[in-house]
Chain A
Amino acid sequence: MSRLKLTAAAAAVAAIVAAVGLLPAHAQSFPTKPVTLIVPWPAGGSSDLALRAFAEAAQKHLGQQIIIENKAGASGTLGPAQMAATAKPDGYTLAQMPITVFRLPYMTKTTFDPTKDFTYVAGLTGYTFGVVVQSKSPWKTFKELVDYAKANPGKVKYGTPGTGTSLHIGMEQIAKEAGVKWTQVPFKGAAETNAALLGGHVDAVADSTGWRALVESGDFRLLVTWGADRTKNWPNVPTLKELGINLVANSPYGIAGPKGIDPKVVKVLHDAFAKAVQEPVYLESLRKFDQELAYLNTADYEKHAVEQIADAKKLIADLGLKKD
């Protein structure tokens, strides 16, 4: 065979391959290539590591590799926003949906609308939140702290990982319900809130389990957790509900893609994810990072998203965080 013929043959093969690639993908054959999962947090953080474990568990059931792409920024909304703006709705690009996706559009101008720019696939899990004080502080129970705040309006200063976070919003909801006034001091993450409480610069801290080491060492006292049930790691600590405060907060998150994904493709993804959340490797990583499984199927997750969006809108307005 002459070199020319060889080249021609190669070109023909390439053309066929290209043509096949251009054919519309059928839902039945989905997925035929690796799926990208956008993680809107820096690599190495607890959300990232938990999602990597999830990807590992899910790819077994999906039959394709799941590639994690870290796209951090804008309080975890930059990744979903870019996906909504640029990704094809073919099911091959998905993103984690942190709760800020529902909240940020009411605080500042965003390029996406959570009510219509996403195809929600499944809910996965939520965080464990709790309020801690120094062990040497006089407050032995959450009620004592609330009572003190009632007697001294505005005097209790509590640290949070940031304004507009679930912790800030939750503490203000508690204040409203209990009829007290306390003052938020926003920090940047658990490192700062822990240092501020250790140094006595704030009276209490509301945070996800970044306080764990200091609670275990006896420096901090955990007064209350915010989940629906008591936590596995701290079974002696009551929930807000038990204390008569009607609030459950765990900032649940799930997986979504850009709007307009074929329902058949969504079902394939959902079925794989539903099995993945029961895999030991995933459950183990949730235990490590104190996240509690909060699986929701596609229909429930869509409903949940609508509720979250309505809640966020109301809360932001109530707290005066609304954009101008």
Chain B
Amino acid sequence: MDLIGNLAVGFGVALQPINLLYCFLGVFIGTLVGVLPGIGPVAAMSLLLPVTFTATPEAGIIMLAGIYYGSMYGGSTTAILVNIPGEAASVVTTLDGHQMAKQGRAGPALGIAAIGSFIAGTLAIVGLMLVAPTLARFAVKFGPAEYFSLMVLGLSILTYLSHGSLLKAMIMACFGLVLGLIGLDSISAVARLTFDRMELVDGVGLVPIVMGLFGIAEILVNIEQKLTRQTVAERITGLLPTRQDWADSAAPLARGSVLGFLLGILPGGGAVISSFLSYAVEKRVSKTPERFGKGAIEGVAGPEAANNAAAGSGFIPLLTLGIPPNVVMALLLGAFIVHNVQPGPLLMVQNPGLFWGIVASMYIGNLMLLVLNLPLIGLWVQVLRVPYRILFPLILLFCIIGVFSVSNSIFDIYVMVVFGVLGYLMRKFGYEPAPLVLAFVLGPMMENNLRKSLIISDGSFWIFLERPISLVCLVLAVVLLASALLPMWRARRERIALESAN
């Protein structure tokens, strides 16, 4: 069969010692980058891009790709251990992952994240191999109208993210939407909420906000508490997921992989959105949704699988159409061109060794990551025993370096500090940061696509109902919202009825 022949060629390339070495370097750096809060794959890849100039195109691309999917593995580590997402895509992992760590189950949480990442990553490569060209052609059917409806569906997840007050979640979401408005408006290039500051013309960055709300705020909250630490460290039980954990996680892993794979192909924030969406799906289908937010392993398994599958499938539009679906892929596109290779429909035909070599290297890289990460779990768990007085200055340092490295801007550090204080106050008053982050990511995309749709339709709102994909998304959003809100209303009505009866 053709596929097997191609794959054989690919492994022939990927198994060359020099390419194996680059692959290992890539996934190793990626793991580090993922673990260190704030320092993301974009910063690491752009710093290391010039290093690959002297290597062959295969080796260079294999290493850069390794950094990307490697960082998706590592991103969950700090999210689980210290409640600070290493990547924006790991924000959701903090919800249940850190709760598990608090209950002494950091090991199983890290274990399921690593193994889940491996399974999802591998499934995504199988998908990449089998259906890449067809699927990429399908993905371009998503125009502005379809994106808008998808974002509406995304925002309806909000109701699932909150385990406290829905009203507070909505307030945070509104705040996130407003933050997303800052900068030159993407359709008519008018400055909004910039207060004549040049730094705000491009808006506020996601990384400083996330690092502030989670990283800095976490430190501030914890300095108040003196004794809890010891108890966490002493309650650590078991390093690997139990049989029960596996049973609970199997279905979420499968669903997360499929979801992540599909969303990863679409241009624009696939990994972040898919992890949020996967969390919502798991909470929706769970028989015990009340466990979510209190250390449910499904809430770790699903999103982690989703963001890794999305990282894998993000390569599909780049390799088959030359369209990079996110910033990381755009960087890779630059790397390809530096090496005189043009990704696009012709890549597979003109450069089969490179195409299949990259695919094969991703199998190998994922395996390396698993081998690299499983033994590290024991080590990471020990981090929980590091005294706060040593751990916190380190976290602070990494947050600052990470935020600064994104665009060499001191202003971003101020933004992080402001959001750190804000995040601290939010925790104190019971407001959750996750809805804010989700709205901040989705809001600008939603507005942009709404306005583009209306330009295309000459102002008619029917465009959203006339297009099948868009219609399906909207219907799903309504169903999700109704299924979340109806029980709530019913409960309230019953309560009122009860009160009036009394």
Q: Which residues of A contact B (CB under 8 A)?
A: 42-46, 48-49, 52, 69-75, 77-78, 81-82, 107-111, 154, 157, 162-164, 183-189, 191-192, 194-196, 198-202, 212-214, 216-217, 219, 288-289, 321, 323
Contact = CB atoms under 8 A, between A and B. Distances in A.
Contacts of B137: 198
Interface stretch (B14-22, B31-39, B184-192, B430-438): B184-192
Looking at A73, A185, A202, the one whose CB has the most chain B CB atoms below 10 A away is A73
Contacts of A199: 140-143
Nearest to A45: B334
Contacts of A162: 186, 189
A186 B342 contact: no
B378 interface: no
A196 B143 contact: yes
Contact of B190 (A78, A108, A216): A108
A321 B189 contact: yes
B189 A164 contact: yes
A263 B140 CA distance: 53
B407 A71 contact: yes
8 contacts: A70-B46, A78-B201, A164-B189, A195-B142, A195-B317, A195-B321, A214-B345, A217-B344
Ranked nearest first, the 7 interchain pairs of A and B with the lowest CB-CB distance are: A213-B344, A201-B143, A213-B322, A43-B46, A199-B140, A217-B345, A74-B201
Contacts of B323: 191, 194-195, 198
Interface in B383-414: 407-409
Nearest to B346: A217
B202 A74 contact: yes
A198 B267 CA distance: 13
Given A77-B198, A163-B187, A196-B144, 7 more contacts: A44-B49, A163-B189, A195-B140, A198-B323, A199-B140, A213-B343, A323-B190
B409 A73 contact: yes
Interface string B191-209: 1001010110110000000
Interface in B52-101: none
Looking at B47, B338, B448, the one whose CB has the most chain A CB atoms below 10 A away is B338
B184 A108 contact: yes
A198 B321 contact: yes
Contact of B47 (A43, A194, A217): A43
Given A198-B321, A213-B346, A288-B337, A73 B456 contact: no
Interface in B109-160: 137, 139-144
A74 B187 contact: no
Nearest to A290: B337
Interface in B247-276: 267
A198 B45 contact: no
A14 to B, nearest CB: 29
B369 interface: no
Contact of A81 (B187, B198, B331): B198
A48 to B, nearest CB: 8
A110 B187 contact: no
Contacts of A110: 198
A162 B183 CA distance: 14
Interface of B: 42, 45-47, 49-50, 137, 139-144, 184, 186-191, 194, 196, 198-199, 201-202, 267, 317, 321-325, 329-331, 334-335, 337-338, 340, 342-347, 407-409, 448, 452, 455-456, 458
A78 B198 contact: yes
Nearest to A193: B323
A75 B201 contact: yes
A73 B267 contact: no
A72 B407 contact: yes
Contacts of A219: 345
A111 B195 CA distance: 12
A144 to B, nearest CB: 22
Contacts of B456: 157, 185, 201-202
Nearest to B187: A186
B196 A163 contact: no
A179 B488 CA distance: 59
Contacts of A42: 42, 46, 407
Contacts of B346: 213, 216-217
Contacts of B334: 44-46, 48-49
B344 A321 contact: no
A186 B452 CA distance: 7
B43 to A, nearest CB: 9
A69 B408 contact: yes
B188 A163 contact: yes
Given A77-B198, A217-B344, A191 B330 contact: yes
A194 B46 CA distance: 24
Contacts of A70: 46, 407-408
B196 A109 contact: yes
Contacts of A194: 321-323
B191 A108 contact: yes
B190 A44 contact: no
A202 B196 CA distance: 34
Looking at A70, A107, A191, the one whose CB has the most chain B CB atoms below 10 A away is A191
B199 A75 contact: no
A191 B324 contact: yes
Contact of A216 (B46, B340, B344): B344
Contacts of A43: 46-47, 49
Contacts of A73: 198-199, 201-202, 407, 409
Looking at A44, A77, A110, A184, the one whose CB has the most chain B CB atoms below 10 A away is A44
A289 B337 contact: yes
B51 to A, nearest CB: 12
B143 A71 contact: no
Nearest to B338: A49
Nearest to A71: B408
Contacts of B409: 71, 73
A288 B199 contact: no
Contact of B186 (A78, A188, A195, A289): A188
A196 B329 CA distance: 18
A23 to B, nearest CB: 30
Nearest to B457: A157
A210 to B, nearest CB: 8
Contacts of A71: 407-409
A212 B143 CA distance: 21
Contacts of B325: 191
A46 to B, nearest CB: 7
A213 B342 contact: yes
Contacts of A200: 143
B337 A46 contact: yes
Given A194-B322, A288-B337, A214 B344 contact: yes
Contacts of A216: 342, 344, 346
Nearest to A289: B337
Nearest to B458: A154
A45 B184 CA distance: 21
A195 B221 CA distance: 45
B215 to A, nearest CB: 22
Nearest to A104: B201
Contact of B455 (A108, A157, A323): A157
Nearest to B185: A163
Contact of A192 (B50, B188, B201, B267): B267
Given A70-B408, A74-B201, A77-B198, A109 B337 contact: no
Contacts of B196: 109
A288 B324 contact: no
